[in-house]
Amino acid sequence: MKTLRLVSTIAVLAGGLAASAASSSLRAAEVETLIDFTDSRRDPDGTIYHAYEYVWDTWDKHVLDLPRRGTLIQAPSGRGTMGENKTMVDFRDAHALHLHFVIGNQNSAQKLVFALEDSDGTVQAWNIPLAGLPVGREVRQLIDPAKPANEEKPGKKPGLNWKKISTWQLKGDWSAPNVEVLLLRLTADK
């Protein structure tokens, strides 16, 4: 009888531990959309809301908002930038970022560059390869916070402070060929 109770108690404890472990692994795998490029709208007063604040260089007038579909970069070259200063996007608990996009038939660019700047001026950048990826299908590209391609600009304190991100940018590869990429969303594993 004591053995049966002991086995029963161990089974209950093991079940509770397994449920707790499964619950914490589910929490660890939580995905949050940080930037939704499909969300663009125009208010009756004419104000336009979209995921970015500015577009520069050859991308100016070549970035189109397609409501509920995404933000289309359809530019004559990779010499362009889009982004947001004084961003309200909260990157602080991101273990990994993923840029979701679709490459268009007319794309010739080899890569895009995703960059973040913190409040003390540190800028880190990650390459988003486009070459060799499928055309016309959603691609999910990892942006590993621990592995930037480079630190474009060091700030006052070493390293990027993920709790104080002030600016995000998506840049072209500064090449001559066409860029045709539909941006869908930037997600974070938290």
Residue 3 has pLDDT above 50, yes or no: no
Span 92-138, pLDDT tens digits: 999 999 999 999 999 999 999 999 999 999 999 999 999 999 999 99
Residue 14 has pLDDT above 70, yes or no: no
Q: What percent of the chain stands above pLDDT 90?
A: 73
Instruction: Find where tokens 């974070």 sit.
Output: 188
Containing H/E element for 7? Answer: helix 2-28
- 35, two tokens: 């930037």
Residue 17 has pLDDT above 80, yes or no: no
pTM metric for this prediction: 0.82
- pLDDT score at 176: 83
Residue 7 has pLDDT above 50, yes or no: no
Span 136-153, pLDDT tens digits: 999 999 999 999 999 888
CATH architecture of 32-189: Sandwich (2.60)
- pLDDT score at 27: 56
- What is the mean predicted confidence (pLDDT) over 157-164? 92
Distances (CA, A) of 133 to 97, 102, 139, 171: 19, 9, 8, 18
- pLDDT score at 28: 55
Give the domain ranges of the chain.
Answer: 32-189
Say if CB 126 and CB 149 are below 8 A apart.
yes
Collapsing DSSP to helix, strand or coil, 181 comes out as strand
- pLDDT score at 29: 65
